Structure 1
Amino acid sequence: MTQKWRFAPHDESQIRGLSSEMRISPLLAQVLIARGLRDALSARSFIDARMSELLEPCSMPGVEQAAERIIAALNEKRRITIYGDYDVDGMTATSILLQCITLANGQCDYFIPNRLDDGYGLNCDAVRELYEEDPQRLLITVDCGITSVKEAALAKELGLELIITDHHQMGEAFPDADCLVHPRLPDSNYEFPHLCGAGVALKLAWAVCQKLGDGQKASPKMREYLKCAVGLAAIGTIADVVPLLGENRILVRYGLGALAELAPLGLQELMKVAEIKSGQTLDTEDIGFALAPRLNAAGRLGQARLAVELLTTNNQDRATQLAAYLDELNKNRRTVERRILKQAREMVEENEEWNDHPTLVLAHQDWHPGVIGIVANRVAEHFEKPTVLIALDANSRTGQGSARSFAGFDLHAGFSSCAAHLIRYGGHQAAAGLKIEEDKVNDFRLAFAEYAVSAPQPSDHDLQVRIDAEVCLNEITKQSVRELDCLGPFGQENPRPQFVATRVELAEPPRTMGEGGRHLSLVFQQHNTKIRAIAFGKGEWASQMEEDGGPFSISFAPGINRFRGFESVQLQLKDWVSEKSKTPVTS
């Protein structure tokens, strides 16, 4: 499937009118109109995105009851345990509630399941162990639990008080916990359903702070804490790839600012090893490509507790030590990832019959279960199919799988249709996980492919790349890029503006860069304007572009490259077409 460019309609009079009324450039006006913000009122509201627009925490289902139970546990001086998850969303959610309860002078600790031994979410062994250690404790899940029916029933049987906070896809039955906190519970009137686990945890912490204050406002100490907590929620939101619209965009916008001023000690050290300059305003790319992978490496390699410790420690030496260790883990993760990706591609090439399947299910005994999710995403993009990678365990004869979608395919619905072949599964439309018996893998492969044949097929819209405007390269200046940044922060469902320029030449031969030549560095020229560009993960384009020779039509997202104190415009090349052959290249 080749993605095609879909240009937004161009209405010159509408662009001039909005540009004049808002006193903005025609380019920004054109992008606003292309994104459905056609009048000054809606455009200004989107650009301003104020913190006051966040919904009241107690309007979320279950938050008020959960906050009251936490306050009661604090007053009774009972232990409160946060049961988290091993991804960045779970780590930041755990840290948010841990700090809130600790600052309220509560006795608080946390439990993060080991990705390799325990798997995802609540498990009965952990519930029993926590109960036996302290039967009076209050157990609060973050970023997990909404499908843990059996585990919640065990907690109820034992008499262990359980609050479940989550944002994931719900099953047919709900866990019988003492309190459920979820933005999409049935009969909910909560207006924004797309918060991540850290966003849900922030709303609960906010409600606790209100109740510890005068009922509406938190104390000065807790207000300062909440500013820092917004920064942690921003990290979880970006890392979990939820839509950066509505409340999520507001949290990330102000959270990035908070991280520049109030980053926890451990994050400050992590920024140093990631070579992010102290005090600089962060953007979503800094989180998504520098900080989140280092935090995630700990969870992927079975050491998520260390990431939570990094986010919450007040010890300078320990923060420095942990940041260096997480950086080393991330380097190890990248090595493992490259090996798995090579093996996955070879498996597909060796099994030609899989070319006819609308999905891919790959399994191997040498794969690391903590890394396969990243690789599944790359395989899905490369082969343009929903992909499941399964790490098999020779001892238990079972496998842990991670899946990534393509072109809007609903993974959770697909797994539900194949439930008879699975031990368990969970997740949502775009990303999901499973556990399976080794001898059921082929049956699952065939059933999953069969479901995909009958499932709703990708529409033309799903396979098209939205282009905000056609431009000349001389329009892409530092000033225009900075003006476009008011549409950020950018991410899922609110991408950086994407443009097309035609009749563009290569000013010099493209060259590969990065580990294994994965990335591509280029210099484009159009008339007298030259601009540098980079194409991430597209090193193979170098020979193709040199062979075609141009001129090209290019699709790109512009940004500012900051290096050693200097700033320059840099294009992120998304796609290109040789104007000689008119053959589109898959994005």
Structure 2
Amino acid sequence: MIAIRPVPQRARLMLEQAGIHPLLARLYAARGVSVADELDTSLTGLLPPEQLKGIDTAATLLADAIAAQQKILIVADYDCDGATACAVGLRALRAMGGIVDYLVPNRFETGYGLSPEVAQLAAAMQPDLLITVDNGIASVAGVAAAKQLGMTVIVTDHHLPGDELPAADAIVNPNQPGCRFPSKCIAGVGVMFYVMLALRAELRRRGAFADRAEPNLAALLDLVALGTVADVVALDRNNRILVTQGLARIRQRKVQSGIAALLQVAGREAIRASTFDLGFAIGPRLNAAGRLADMSLGIECLVTDDMGRAMNIAQELDAINHQRRAIEADMQAAAAVQLEDLDAGQRASITLFDPDWHQGVIGILAGRVKEKLHRPTIVFARAGDELRGSGRSIGGLHLRDALDLVAKRHPGLIMRFGGHAAAAGLAIREDALGDFTVAFEEIARALLAPATLTRTYETDGPLEAGYYSLIPARLLQDAVWGQGFPAPVFADQFEVVQQRLLKDKHLKLTLKKGNTRLDAIRFNHPDSAPDRIHAAFRLDINEWQGEAKVQLVLEHFEAA
């Protein structure tokens, strides 16, 4: 079903009167922007660090460690958010005089986060202070083990806490109880960036920069933008500032060598970089290292200043990503066979398992199935004597909370879990798969209203006739869009003049609206279109052999 977002007309008019382009004014008003000040993306608009609970303590501990020349160890996560957060920490701490190294858990050996096993690995590196990035809020046992081994522990994270917080020396997480920081959806890399801001302020207060220049932490905003977009956190105003500023630096080529190299191997131009490039070109290549190999490779790409080395690593990451795509294709084919025997329309959830599936790719598969069937989906892979699952959810079901309900109603069924509203991870015993499938279905059916199980394509309605051109398309391309502030999708009726299949899977069309003919494409959709369609589409630019033309990317169509 295609729906149209309401547009508060008073807000739209106020934005236009403030000088905002009429098309953008309509789109921003539909996304809750009511005054032009909310579109101010200057760094002065960032929320102040002191609103983050625990940040002053963390800054003091880090400043003390730097002053005493103690060893600092960052324990990272193996996704893009964790890798960029680690890179921000490494670059900033070294610039401020810290002796710092990092450790990233191996997805296949130690699993997610600061576990007791990871604490033992950390201890072998003999740090005085351990700081987690993008993990740690659920690491009660791991933090206890690290402290017992003599380490001071700082947790920086953004995930939702459980019933018990770890006994760290400092916790910086906007979602911990009692934290008044308004941006609850900041990414892990954003939290670490804020901790570095607070550390610089503490060192400044101590006179550490009396005889040397302060580090320019704004130079790290390209990393912050990448991690924020790739982690698909909601782009509230604070996150939009971080992403806009980071993108501006990339477009000005004031960019880390690793990001420049990744853009190059992906065939993207830095000067025209967009949130789409961060989320769908660079992010997957970095994530591929954590999915199939070792995220240390991705982190090394982000911290080197040697462009030659960065290119070598970026090419290796690109090769790993191609391998990931091949594995994913095989898993999708196997999942399709399972789904043939499953009446998804009669279910409120989907749970899948295959003993041959790669645990590094199950999250992607869960996302694909969720998108296809519009059901909360959890996909499991075998990991030793347990199953590890990755889930993706639809609007209306908070996945982490749903798993919490399963765990409370069926004690012992889930060994461990964590995550967000839209994505979560868990582990169960293999012999518990059947019971978990039933329990998760019961919870999903209880929490999801019947209307939420019908997919709705929320659009911005028809695009004005004069805007099917390159200038409006560039305007939309240059703006910052993302989770919670979605990229514009328009809807209208068209006559299908021509259609053909590209590469056996993409439907290429020529559409007609009035007297205007338009190129269009629907990716990964081999089925033909009727003569007249009602389509939801994005206004895009197709650049080929130096020529740029407007193209409609169809998200959905139905007979008109």
Q: SS at the partner of 1:208? A: helix
Provide the rounded CA distance (Å) in 2 between the counterparts of 1:275 and 1:341. 26
The Cα of 1:72 is off from its aligned counterpart by 0.6
| 1:527 and 2:529 matched | no
Q: SS at the partner of 1:147? A: coil
Provide the rounded CA distance (Å) in 1 between the counterparts of 2:466 and 2:207. 52
One-letter amino acid of the structure 1 residue matched with residue 548 of structure 2: E
The question of whether the paired residues in 2 share the 8 Å contact of 1:230 and 1:254 is answered with: yes
Provide the rounded CA distance (Å) in 1 between the counterparts of 2:83 and 2:235. 20
Q: SS at the partner of 2:499? A: coil
Q: SS at the partner of 2:380? A: strand
Provide the rounded CA distance (Å) in 1 between the counterparts of 2:305 and 2:19. 47
- Report what 1:154 is aligned to: 145
Alignment of structure 1 residues 167-566 onto 2, 5 Å:
167-214=158-205, 222-224=214-216, 226-260=217-251, 261-277=253-269, 279-352=270-343, 356-393=346-383, 396-419=384-407, 420-457=412-449, 459=451, 463-484=455-476, 488-502=479-493, 504-513=494-503, 517-537=504-524, 539-540=525-526, 542-543=527-528, 545=529, 548-549=530-531, 551-566=532-547
Q: Determine what percentage of the aligned residue pairs are the same residue.
A: 34
One-letter amino acid of the structure 1 residue matched with residue 102 of structure 2: Y
> Can you list the C-alpha shifts for 1:193-245, whole angstroms capped at 9, x where unaligned?
11000000100111122223357998985443x12211101000000000112
CA change 1:409–1:215 in 2 (3 A) is farther
Q: SS at the partner of 2:271? A: coil
> Can you list the C-alpha shifts for 1:158-181, whole angstroms capped at 9, x where unaligned?
332100000001101110011100
- Report what 2:3 is aligned to: 5
One-letter amino acid of the structure 1 residue matched with residue 536 of structure 2: S
- Report what 1:573 is aligned to: 554
> Can you list the C-alpha shifts for 1:319-376, whole angstroms capped at 9, x where unaligned?
2221111010000000000110111111121345x65331111111110000110111
Q: SS at the partner of 1:258? A: helix
Provide the rounded CA distance (Å) in 2 between the counterparts of 1:82 and 1:192. 24
The question of whether the paired residues in 1 share the 8 Å contact of 2:348 and 2:448 is answered with: no
Question: 475-484 or 122-131, which moves further after superposition?
Answer: 475-484
One-letter amino acid of the structure 2 residue matched with residue 72 of structure 1: D
- Report what 1:585 is aligned to: none
Question: 556-565 or 185-194, which moves further after superposition?
Answer: 556-565
The question of whether the paired residues in 2 share the 8 Å contact of 1:266 and 1:312 is answered with: yes
Provide the rounded CA distance (Å) in 1 between the counterparts of 2:289 and 2:90. 19
Question: 14-23 or 315-324, which moves further after superposition?
Answer: 14-23
TM-score, normalised with respect to structure 1: 0.89
Pick the aligned partner of 2:31 from 32, 35, 55: 35
The question of whether the paired residues in 2 share the 8 Å contact of 1:407 and 1:462 is answered with: no
CA change 1:164–1:313 in 2 (3 A) is same
The Cα of 1:499 is off from its aligned counterpart by 1.7
CA change 1:87–1:518 in 2 (3 A) is farther
One-letter amino acid of the structure 1 residue matched with residue 110 of structure 2: D
CA change 1:237–1:9 in 2 (3 A) is closer
The question of whether the paired residues in 1 share the 8 Å contact of 2:95 and 2:215 is answered with: no
The Cα of 1:562 is off from its aligned counterpart by 3.6
The Cα of 1:29 is off from its aligned counterpart by 3.5
Provide the rounded CA distance (Å) in 2 between the counterparts of 1:250 and 1:458. 37
Provide the rounded CA distance (Å) in 2 between the counterparts of 1:25 and 1:410. 36
- Superposed CA RMSD in Å reads 2.4
Provide the rounded CA distance (Å) in 1 between the counterparts of 2:68 and 2:208. 23
One-letter amino acid of the structure 2 residue matched with residue 113 of structure 1: P
The Cα of 1:484 is off from its aligned counterpart by 4.4
Provide the rounded CA distance (Å) in 1 between the counterparts of 2:317 and 2:78. 14
The Cα of 1:289 is off from its aligned counterpart by 1.3
The question of whether the paired residues in 1 share the 8 Å contact of 2:12 and 2:29 is answered with: no
CA change 1:244–1:16 in 2 (3 A) is closer
Provide the rounded CA distance (Å) in 2 between the counterparts of 1:163 and 1:264. 26
> Can you list the C-alpha shifts for 1:475-528, whole angstroms capped at 9, x where unaligned?
322223344457x301111112222222x1123213234xxx443332221122
One-letter amino acid of the structure 2 residue matched with residue 385 of structure 1: R
The question of whether the paired residues in 1 share the 8 Å contact of 2:374 and 2:455 is answered with: no
CA change 1:56–1:26 in 2 (3 A) is closer
CA change 1:406–1:461 in 2 (3 A) is closer
| 1:22 and 2:18 matched | yes
Number of residues of Structure 1 aligned to a counterpart in Structure 2: 554
Provide the rounded CA distance (Å) in 2 between the counterparts of 1:234 and 1:62. 24
Question: 104-113 or 528-537, which moves further after superposition?
Answer: 528-537
The question of whether the paired residues in 1 share the 8 Å contact of 2:118 and 2:142 is answered with: no
Provide the rounded CA distance (Å) in 2 between the counterparts of 1:24 and 1:256. 20
Provide the rounded CA distance (Å) in 2 between the counterparts of 1:413 and 1:21. 43
The Cα of 1:444 is off from its aligned counterpart by 0.5
| 1:107 and 2:99 matched | yes
Residue segments in structure 1 that go unaligned for 5+ positions in a row? 580-587
Provide the rounded CA distance (Å) in 2 between the counterparts of 1:480 and 1:286. 19
The question of whether the paired residues in 1 share the 8 Å contact of 2:499 and 2:508 is answered with: no
Residue segments in structure 2 that go unaligned for 5+ positions in a row? none
The question of whether the paired residues in 2 share the 8 Å contact of 1:8 and 1:466 is answered with: no
Q: SS at the partner of 1:436? A: strand
The Cα of 1:64 is off from its aligned counterpart by 1.3
| 1:121 and 2:113 matched | yes
